[in-house]
Amino acid sequence: MSDSFYDLKVKRGSEEVPMSKYKDKVLLVVNTASQCGFTPQYQGLQDLYTKMSPKGFELLAFPCNQFGEQEPGSDAEIKLFCERTFNTTFPIFSKLEVNGPNTDPLFLHLKKKAPGVFGSLDIKWNFTKFLVDKEGNVVKRYAPVTKPEAIEKDIEELLAGK
């Protein structure tokens, strides 16, 4: 496994998107689900994206069906649900796994660089968030209960180069 965030690639439909596309941007990477108690966070994520994207911020959503099967839809259904319900404009990638033997390499990297409580590498639930700085360093991991608006100050500090 590469040690560089920017060497990783992820799927968005039939397209492979290199993370190097996001060099020099502050990123928030989130595993999402459409039928979860935290699903309303999509609105906070969109608000954050609308406010911060002109400053060099990008939000990357990765649907996952590993927690209570709360993301059963196809990639197209997920995207449509998010656009219709929350007017999302940030990129929503193809559904992937964040734990277990089929964990996507992106999430292997994120978990290794920012372990959870007591050093756990597993993601506990939907809407776990990872903050990545402009150089591709995973700076912080946030629990599902952390609302997007609570992360705004950390994003602003990274955008300002602090």
Could you give the residue numbers annotated as active site? 36
Cross-strand partners of 126: none
Q: What is the largest CA-CA distance in the chain?
A: 40
Other beta carbons within 10 angstroms of residue 58's beta carbon come to 17
* DSSP-assigned states of every residue in 94-122: ----SSSTT--HHHHHHHHHS--GGG--S
Taken as a whole, the chain contains a residue count of 162
Structural tokens at position 126: 């939907």
> What distance, in Å, lies between the first and last C-alpha atoms of the chain?
29
Bridge pairing between strands 57-63 and 26-32:
parallel
